Amino acid sequence: MGQPRWQALGSLAIVTGASSGIGRELTKRLTREGCRVIAVARRAERLDELAAECGGLLTDPNLGDSQLGNSQRDVVPHGGGIIPIVGDVTSAATREAAFEQVRLHNNGRLDLLVNNAGIGGIGPFELADADRMRQIMEVNFFAPADWIRDALPMLRANADRGPVICNIGSVLGHRAVPDKSEYSASKFAIHGFSDSLRSELAGDGIAVTLVSPSTTKSEFFDSLVGTEAGQVSKSIGSWPPERVAQAAYSAIRRRRSEVILSAGGKALVYADRAFPTLMNWILAR
């Protein structure tokens, strides 16, 4: 028999990139369903705003507020709410602060890790400096790998509850396109990493879910590096972050291996699988 569906009620999750876009909407959905969320982002004020929408802050009275949001509310021991962690996802200190909250609030047991934080870049590879590739890979691939490595003992401790690792990928991790070479590379990397981990962790009862959206409206352009102003994204099938978050939540609940979102995204991926030479010709033009 397979694992039961993942249950938000009473669970503890970590969501990176929680201050905007997919991460923000997914955090809101999880807390509405009774999940406590350790929300990780760089902007304290945005986490405070998010807390106001998600049932309040879940803080430990013995901790200082140097890595927490500015708002202080009563601890909500049951039901949803957020535990804000302000920091960069590539920082070991940020990871340790988040995992310390898992130890404090749930005896070191974690139900869900969502690797959502990401950045992008647009423009020909030849015209970009090496830093663009390194920055994108650091945030989009190496950071998720580090979060997963540190989270595994805590996820394994909750194996009876069917814990989930959810990596937010992209359709460009299935079929790359011109002028997004570094971003595509990072998403191909997280795709392959997810596939490998899924097999490695199957015996531990830990599911690995890969969610591959197309361009999410308004989000991609908020986090571009090494990119000239005024760049536009040649993409189809964009979804609002609320819709992507709903699809991600459904995939997590069902502990699915992979979901590809939007009609345009599916068309790109499946056309490439069926007619790779034709797709190369089309994208080159």
Just list the catalytic residues. Answer: 183
Taking the CA atoms of 171, 175, 180 and 184 in sequence, report the sign of the dihedral they define. positive
Backbone angles phi, psi at 234, to 5 degrees: -90, 85
179 secondary structure, DSSP code: T
CB 162 within 8 A of CB 207: yes
Q: In whole angstroms, what is the distance from residue 258 CA to residue 130 CA? A: 31
Nearest to 3 by CA among 264, 192, 206: 206
Question: In this structure, which amino acid lies at residue 44?
Answer: A
Q: How far apart are the first and last CA of the chain?
A: 49
The token duo for 167 is 């990596």
Host H or E run for residue 69 = none
The token duo for 158 is 């909750």
CB 213 within 8 A of CB 22: yes
